[in-house]
Structure 1
């Protein structure tokens, strides 16, 4: 029989400590309190730190940390139809890695990135690679490691990103088609200006298909948006795009009403953009104008979003998750898992040695963080 594990009272004073308390409590409830995790991921400050993200992100996608895919190997690259394109995109992804990272360390990570992507494509023949997919994959790799990142990329590819992975761009265009009706719902004047400028919506394409990872230079801003999108409906990135345009209304209306000028303005997101305000207002925009209403008002029903249609099943799956300590107990009671449990300390030592030898001080810092959360998380990084 399942039970809820109750923690002590939250620390006084509120703020980050209280948010961390509620996240920890939600993670240790049985079943996991997924609604609280979603709420904290959306609310001011998001998930606070990389350590907490490594715990919460998998839960938002219903991933069992004791049942991760194997570490992808380079053998999967052989004769894959998308290998050349993936390899080119990964080579061009230098700016997505931390500044100052030694070339040999970055090279190892780029190899893992290529292997992650090709593993997903080989495992799901119906999915088609698109340029920008690697931007999502590298964010996961840098945050949760290669094995957990592969598991999360698999879940995202069959849910949130599924519309972008069709053989044609029809569903991608369908998702983009929500943008202008959402702007019109809030500002008819701005909507008319954009129509007269003939700017279209192509300026937002890279925003959606990379979850803004390709266009933002600050990794912390990218992570904050990922907190939001992982906890939300699959169409939330296009709502975010609409809200970003709405928040720049005055700036846009002061621009010359001509396609090149408006496109150039919209394509460049200001470095000082207020992302917490953006997330709060986007969340309100979604509640005020849910997808079904927008589809009906703007006659967008000719093509259905696979991502949106699969979201209900993901919600059910996430609501039925057991906390990690229960999964660990179940894993330990499995006779087939006993050798793994008995040798866990040895595996951790080998993992630390292997990671520090191949990736150096930057990765060792990640390792130390993982150890603070438990050996099982460290093993999931490989």
Structure 2
């Protein structure tokens, strides 16, 4: 197998399955291989990861999200903060409000989860939120912040979820964490101009109805986690948001209204009717279409245009201002297998049985002349660690 020069992504355009020459892998398998290759490049090819998160299907699985989400936020999974403990609750100004919000968040946990397990996760959720707030006293809790936190907790666990929440709080969500809602109003103020740029008729109808933008507030501050009942839909949007500019949820909100334009124009042109209609997102909403159109709008009307000072925008977005630095820093990340080797010798990481399995697999793979796809998955598994590799058998 040829080696790839450092800093260059390996590319396989026509990957074939072993035993089936000429037959392309399914798009999901091809995409999975591309993601794995990007993760094992040195430095990690974050551009490919962002493209994968935005394109159809997103990051495909929870396992892949646990690998890619930290890279999108430049988080070293081998250098996480300590597990937050109950002591962080002592005398915190937001403790009571956080506790009440978490106790009311039952619908955010999977249906059928036993009460004891959910109770443990709720306690972890409280500690996770308070840990972030204690680490950054300048941040102010808002109702809905726990909806973002619970999505991270259920996807990547307590320690990594806490690290991700810290980064999001100082970057993507920073505008919502001021002591006042002034910056939040500024973010909301981008919504109507985006709708106007795509449909002046719909924009005029919304102005006449006097509906305002308040219907979209919970969409933005919770990254739609509070208003969507399907957890997979929430995860798909999180793929998109984590890989994109902090104002991307506003573009999604605009397209969410534009996609329903015909339905909105048939409604009575008054605030109660339009607000009720827009507040209820249909269960069969086309989320892939939403993401595709929001991404196109993001390119045709970039955030730099929205951020030009107007009478509605008295404050600059902190989230938008910090995005460029996050992009630059995330482009210099080492792959996990390198970070792991820097922390611990491989012989200390792999138990004897795993090492034997890896060796047997390598010998068997070469002698059996595996196809390129199988070799790619095997190499990726070796670099990611024994848990993934043993799970293939």
**TM-score range, shorter-chain basis?**
0.7 to 0.9
The whole-number CA distance in structure 2 between the counterparts of 1:372 and 1:100 is 36
Deviation, structure 1 residue 295: 3.6
In structure 1, the partner of 2:127 is 115
Distance change (3 Å), C-alpha of 1:150 and 1:344: farther
Retained in 2: the 8 A contact 1:236–1:286?
yes
In structure 2, the partner of 1:308 is 320
Structure 1 unmatched runs, 5+: 347-369, 378-382
1:95 to 88, 101, 107: 107
Deviation, structure 1 residue 6: 3.6
**2:140 aligned with 1:128:** yes
The whole-number CA distance in structure 1 between the counterparts of 2:154 and 2:348 is 29
The whole-number CA distance in structure 1 between the counterparts of 2:350 and 2:90 is 33
In structure 2, the partner of 1:253 is 265
1:163 to 163, 175, 188: 175
In structure 2, the partner of 1:367 is none
Distance change (3 Å), C-alpha of 1:7 and 1:296: closer
**2:249 aligned with 1:237:** yes
The whole-number CA distance in structure 2 between the counterparts of 1:84 and 1:272 is 37
Retained in 2: the 8 A contact 1:121–1:129?
yes
The whole-number CA distance in structure 2 between the counterparts of 1:244 and 1:22 is 30
**2:203 aligned with 1:191:** yes
Retained in 1: the 8 A contact 2:40–2:383?
no
In structure 1, the partner of 2:52 is 40
What CA deviation, in whole Å up to 9, does each residue of 1:66-118 have, x standing for no partner?
Answer: 10011111111111100000000000000000101110000000000000000
The whole-number CA distance in structure 2 between the counterparts of 1:374 and 1:113 is 28
- Give the structure with the higher percent helix: 1
Deviation, structure 1 residue 297: 8.7
In structure 2, the partner of 1:81 is 93
Which structure would you say has the larger Rg? 2
In structure 2, the partner of 1:267 is 279
**2:41 aligned with 1:29:** yes
Deviation, structure 1 residue 294: 2.8
2:220 to 195, 208, 228: 208
| SS of residue in 2 equivalent to 1:278 | helix
The whole-number CA distance in structure 2 between the counterparts of 1:116 and 1:371 is 32
Deviation, structure 1 residue 2: 4.7
What CA deviation, in whole Å up to 9, does each residue of 1:302-330 have, x standing for no partner?
Answer: 21000000000000111000000111111
Deviation, structure 1 residue 371: 12
| SS of residue in 1 equivalent to 2:344 | helix
| SS of residue in 1 equivalent to 2:60 | coil
| SS of residue in 2 equivalent to 1:86 | helix
| SS of residue in 2 equivalent to 1:160 | coil
The whole-number CA distance in structure 2 between the counterparts of 1:343 and 1:279 is 40
Deviation, structure 1 residue 344: 7.5
Structure 2 unmatched runs, 5+: 17-23, 353-380, 389-393
Retained in 2: the 8 A contact 1:181–1:298?
no
Deviation, structure 1 residue 332: 2.1
The whole-number CA distance in structure 1 between the counterparts of 2:120 and 2:180 is 32
RMSD between superposed Cα atoms in Å? 2.3
In structure 2, the partner of 1:146 is 158
Retained in 2: the 8 A contact 1:207–1:241?
yes
User: How many positions carry a matched residue from both structures?
Assistant: 348
What CA deviation, in whole Å up to 9, does each residue of 1:202-242 have, x standing for no partner?
Answer: 00000000000000000000000000000000000011000
What CA deviation, in whole Å up to 9, does each residue of 1:137-170 have, x standing for no partner?
Answer: 0000000000000010011000000000000000
The whole-number CA distance in structure 2 between the counterparts of 1:26 and 1:197 is 48
In structure 1, the partner of 2:291 is 279
